[in-house]
Amino acid sequence: MSNLEQTLSIIKPDAVERNLENEIKKEFISKGFKIVKEKKIQITKSEAEQFYKVHETKPFYNDLCSYLSSGPIVVMVLEKEDAVMANRDLMGATDPKKAEEGTLRKKYGVSIDKNSVHGSDSVENAKIEINFFFDN
């Protein structure tokens, strides 16, 4: 049965800074994702704190929010069958050192904090994250 989903993807500052935006978009397109919405923005630290609120008790929370707000990011709504899990698979493990060959984080990530891409971890969170960046 068909299960068309949307998920939120972010090309993080480390990847935008290295001009990987187009290369990473091609990866999504070649895997059958449709880029339904996209914008290049820079968010404030307080917006990053809201976005990553689930991590507020983690020791890395402050650095994480400083980092996500440190430079331009590309925020996209990706659409595909089972998009949430398909994007998690394409991204690979959070830590690029542990990510499998061929995944985006293996290819482009430099460290656990500078891991190049974000992707929603569930359909429910995808809806919340899409609404956070795109209001309508």
94: partner contacted, choices Mg ion, ligand IDP, none (Cβ within 5-8 A by kind):
ligand IDP
**Residues with a known catalytic role:** 118
Residue placing its CB nearer to ligand IDP in the complex, 64 or 104: 64
Residue found under tokens 């949430």: 84
Between 23 and 121, whose beta carbon lies closer to Mg ion?
Answer: 121
Residue 113 binding result from ligand IDP, Mg ion, none, given CB thresholds of 5 to 8 Å by partner type: ligand IDP
Angstrom distance (rounded) from CA 2 to CA 91: 23
Structure tokens at 25: 């978009």
List the x/- string, 7-26, binding to ligand IDP by CB under 6 A: --------------------
52 phi, psi to nearest 5 deg = -100, 25
**Beta partners for residue 76, in sequence order:** 9, 38
